Amino acid sequence: MDSGIDGMDDHEMHKTQLEQWVDNTEAPEPMYKGKSIFEVDLDKDLQNQPWRKPDADISDYFNYGFTEQTWKMYADHIMRQKRADEASRGQPTDGPV
């Protein structure tokens, strides 16, 4: 069974903690410096990217088998889903769906 975001098999069968947060509207949104962690631009908002160093262990910085690229894709997916959910409930959105 594929454990990476590309295959989504494990993600379809077992929800990650982040997906559980998305489904649980009572939980506070994970934030970093006043932004949703899903809105953080790793290139613009973080001046230090230690996971990019040649001797870095990517799993020290990204959980659930994510890499920098797959995290960006996942965060974008979550934000699109959040905006679509808000739009379907008639709530204001922060950007295009």
Q: What is the pLDDT tens value at each position of the chain, 97 positions in all?
A: 444 444 545 444 345 666 665 666 667 778 999 999 999 999 999 999 999 999 999 999 998 899 999 999 999 998 998 888 888 888 665 555 4
The tokens describing 9, both together, are 């098999």
Query: How far is the CA of 16 from the CAs of 51, 60, 71, in angstroms?
Result: 22, 17, 13
How far apart are alpha carbons 72 and 94 in whole angstroms? Answer: 18
The pLDDT value recorded for residue 85 is: 84
